[in-house]
Amino acid sequence: MTLRLGALVMLAALLGACASSTGTRESTWPNSPRSGDAGTTPAPSTPTAPATPEPPVPIEPVKPVAPDSPKTAEAISGQAVVSLMRKAADARSQGQLDLAASQLERAQRIEPRNYFVWSALAKVYLDQQQYDQAISVAGKSNSLARGNPYVEIENWKTIAKAMEARGDSIGALNAQGRVEEIERALGGG
């Protein structure tokens, strides 16, 4: 035990010597107050927002499906956002696309990182034939969804359609590939 302690002290001394080998300059590293960082740094993987209750799921290179991911907006949204999303869906189905978009933007202001809202907004952009925006906004939703397959599959569908409409058939094919990949994973999982 004492031996081990001695070894550590020596080790630290050795490393300390290495670290200060740059001379007598003042150093804040590695002799810094963050030696306890591992303990005190809140792990970035711990979500603090109630809007994103599921743990982050790595999505590349293999996409494991998180079966506990929220499937619908209702699962993660407050009632105001749910209500606005319904209004937006009604407006969209009636072809009132500006109205649909403005309801979703209102929802977005209330819950800025609600990926279901962004996903719905991407579809409105698709309807409005604003394909670049549809792709960007769907991408933004994917980025916020952090591996939620139910949202991502919708977003990739939007991206595939927008790319197709834009005349980018390879991009569309790739996006469609993502759709099928998630479908398979969902079906298998």
Nearest distance from residue 149's CB to other proteins, in Å? 12
Compute the distance between CA of residue 183 and CA of residue 63 in angstroms, rounded to an integer. 11
User: Residues 74, 102, 127, 181: which binds other proteins (CB under 8 A)?
Assistant: 102
User: Residues 103, 119, 148, 158: which binds other proteins (CB under 8 A)?
Assistant: 103
The end-to-end CA distance of the chain, in Å, is 50
Give exposure, 28-40, as e/b (b: 16+ Cβ within 10 Å): eeeeeeeeeeeee
Compute the distance between CA of residue 156 and CA of residue 119 in angstroms, rounded to an integer. 10
Compute the distance between CA of residue 175 and CA of residue 49 in angstroms, rounded to an integer. 29
Q: Which stretch binds other proteins (CB under 8 A): 75-83, 158-166, 169-177, 180-188?
A: 75-83
Say how many C-beta atoms besides its own lie within 10 A of residue 168's C-beta. Answer: 16
110 interacts with other proteins by CB under 8 A: yes
Name the residues that contact other proteins, by CB under 8 A: 3-4, 6-8, 10-11, 15, 19-20, 22-23, 25-30, 32-35, 37-38, 41-45, 47-49, 52, 56, 58-61, 78-80, 82-84, 98-99, 101-103, 105-106, 108-110, 112-113, 121, 132-133, 136-137, 139-140, 143, 146-147
